[in-house]
Amino acid sequence: MHPLLEINNLFGGYERESVLKDVSLSVNKGDFVGIIGPNGSGKTTLLRLLSKILRPHKGEIIFGGRDISSIKLKDFAKEAAFVPQDTIINFSFSVLEIVLMGRIPHLRRLESESKNDLRIARDAMKMTDIAHLEGDYMDELSSGERQRVIIARALAQEPLLIFLDEPTSHLDIAHQVQIMDLLAKSRRLANLTIVTVLHDLNLAGEYCNRIVLLNGGKIFKQGSPEEVLTYQNIEAVYKTVVVVDKNPISGNPYVLLCPKEKA
Amino acid sequence: MNNRLKLKIALLFFILFAAIIIGVLKGPADLGIRQLLSRAYMPILYLRALRIFAALSCGAGLAVSGIALQAILRNPLAEPYLLGTSSGAGLGAVIALICGIASRWLPLFAFLGAALSIFIVYNLARQNNRIRQESLILSGVIVSVAFSAIIVFLVSISGSEVLRSLSWWLWGSLQVYDARLLLIVSIIVFAGVLVIYLFAQDLNAISIGEEEAMHLGINAEQTKKILIFTTSIITASLVCVCGVIGFVGLIAPHTMRLLCGPNHRVLIPVTCLGAAIFMILCDIIARVIYPPLEVPIGVITAMVGAPIFIILLRRSEKI
């Protein structure tokens, strides 16, 4: 079976300067991939290249057997959805209106949503546990709820793949776990593939089956959490002393910081 | 569409109908219905009907342009003259007035002035073939200020007659001098509003964010360019027949957003109704407040609009 997403010798970034240099990586259907790395290592740039916001300078991105530059934006949006860090909405749309926007790629110009579209949107809201918020306005929600609405919108696109850019960065630990559990659940139920940038190494270790560690625009190491989250790798990339141990309950690796100054 | 929305729309239609009737009946010449419908007063009836037609075009064109720009720029305070249309048209008109060009060519000069300023603003804002919203707003302000300075300079070195004619352009009027021009402009406005409506769904997504829209499969950059072009054509054409009428493009969309929500598929048609009502009522005030003289309608829209706007802002922090 071909990988769902295949990246070969990718260079890309802004203007003329390539932030990413020679990145190659493949993602299989059903993978939960975490992209980690220090600030400025090119995580977000990689995600923006993969989601057709930026054009590669060199190299290719193959999605479902086709180069993504040859796929129309609208067709691409039927297969791949994107969840940004935080969505600030200036206009007071209701939750249902926002989730229904996920159906835009499936609608023709001026076509209004059918009963089926409405059903898909409502299913997505049930999945993300926001069905009770349907009529509420986006600007009245907490950031955890807002993020769930945006994930519901992504699910309503009925994609094969969801990209997320640090989906938990503004949330407390309870909401972080809630969002990550939600992603794991949709991966299990809808056989979704998930590619997410994460700051939190422990979340990456707990939820991802594959981790890509970026450093200076290059892939430093990729593989299973046990392979990537070693103290050698992390100390080399983050220039910080850490201890890596196993979570006694899940058995996944976790990373502890070692401060230079005593409290 | 739910029932409450249907009721609101029916109510708006009713108010519009009432406003049209009042607009036809009221004017500096105090005439009854019977007189108005008699053959002798036909010309007055015709003129008043033309004004109402102008109010409909102007209201719909300016308000829908406002909606489109507010969504594209994700700035609820954007208005149709943001691209420098008003000062450009004013400059075109003042040049024509000073050069003593026949008044029937004035609209053409105003249009050219408006087109010139939009062209400059657009190109100032463009970087690497992309339009950033902040640079568009900034260059609009810069060009407006520069053009206004040139207008004041030209006016100050010429006679007061020019100033008087110019105030008509800068504050607007629905007095129609050329019915054929009005018809052409109305067709352009109607087509433009239709084009913007075609993008209603895209505007919903773009009003949240350009990249968000792209993730939903919308070519945001291209949509933005098409809509900036469309709103420019609408405002530049309207400025030829009606001069600059402020506040409609701001207040009608806002009020209607509060009434019917931000979904552009509903908002655009509903705002056409609301803006038409607002324009007709303001025009009635402009005609009857100090007869037989007529106050420029832009003065009325600003005086009525500003307090409404403040109340709206106060009442709901969300826009």
- The span from the CA of A223 to the CA of A235, in Å, is 17
**H or E stretch covering B292:** none
Domain boundary assignment for chain B: 3-315
Per-residue pLDDT averaged across A208-214, rounded? 94
Interchain contact, B211 vs A101, CB within 8 Å:
no
Interchain contact, B319 vs A91, CB within 8 Å:
yes
Interchain contact, A73 vs B218, CB within 8 Å:
yes
Judge whether A149 is closer than 8 Å to chain B, CB to CB.
Answer: no
The CA distance from A217 to the nearest CA of chain B, in Å, is 22
CATH class of segment(s) A5-257: alpha beta
Non-local (6+) Cβ contacts of A249 within 8 A are none
Judge whether B130 is closer than 8 Å to chain A, CB to CB.
Answer: no
Is residue A198 helix, strand or coil?
Answer: coil
Measured in degrees and rounded to the nearest 5, phi and psi for residue A61 equal: -120, 115
The CA distance from B208 to the nearest CA of chain A, in Å, is 5
- Please report the pLDDT score of residue A203 as a whole number: 92
More confident residue, A195 or B319: A195
| Interface ipTM | 0.90
Judge whether A177 is closer than 8 Å to chain B, CB to CB.
Answer: no
Q: Above 90 in pLDDT, residue A213? A: yes
Non-local (6+) Cβ contacts of B302 within 8 A are B246, B247
CB atoms within 10 A of CB A260: 6
- pTM for this prediction: 0.89
More confident residue, B176 or B28: B176
- Please report the pLDDT score of residue B319 as a whole number: 44
Calculate the alpha carbon distances from B81 to B94, B163, B185, B187 in Å. 18, 21, 17, 20
The pLDDT > 90 percentage for chain A reads 63
Half-sphere exposure of A52 (CA within 13 A, CB side): 28
Non-local (6+) Cβ contacts of B142 within 8 A are B124
* Nearest CB to A90 within list B74, B200, B219: B74
Q: Say which residue the tokens 């940038």 belong to.
A: A197
Q: Above 70 in pLDDT, residue B114? A: yes
- Please report the pLDDT score of residue B175 as a whole number: 83
Q: Does domain B3-315 have CATH number 3.40.50.300?
A: no
- The span from the CA of A63 to the CA of B295, in Å, is 64
Q: What tens digit of pLDDT does each residue of B198-245 get?
A: 999 999 999 988 899 999 999 998 999 899 989 988 998 898 888 888
Q: Which of A166, A124, A169 is nearest to A148 (CA)?
A: A124
Tokens for B186?
């109305």
Domain boundary assignment for chain A: 5-257
Q: What tens digit of pLDDT does each residue of B1-42 get?
A: 578 888 999 999 999 999 999 988 887 677 777 777 777 788
Q: What tens digit of pLDDT does each residue of A44-71 get?
A: 999 999 999 998 999 999 998 899 999 9
Judge whether B222 is closer than 8 Å to chain A, CB to CB.
Answer: no
* Mean model confidence pLDDT for chain A: 90
- Range name among A52-56, A57-61, B109-113, B161-165 with the lowest pLDDT average: B161-165
Interchain contact, A90 vs B76, CB within 8 Å:
yes
- Please report the pLDDT score of residue B130 as a whole number: 79
Q: Say which residue the tokens 């908002």 belong to.
A: B267
Interchain contact, A110 vs B198, CB within 8 Å:
yes
* Mean model confidence pLDDT for chain B: 87
Residue B317 banded pLDDT, cuts 50, 70, 90:
low
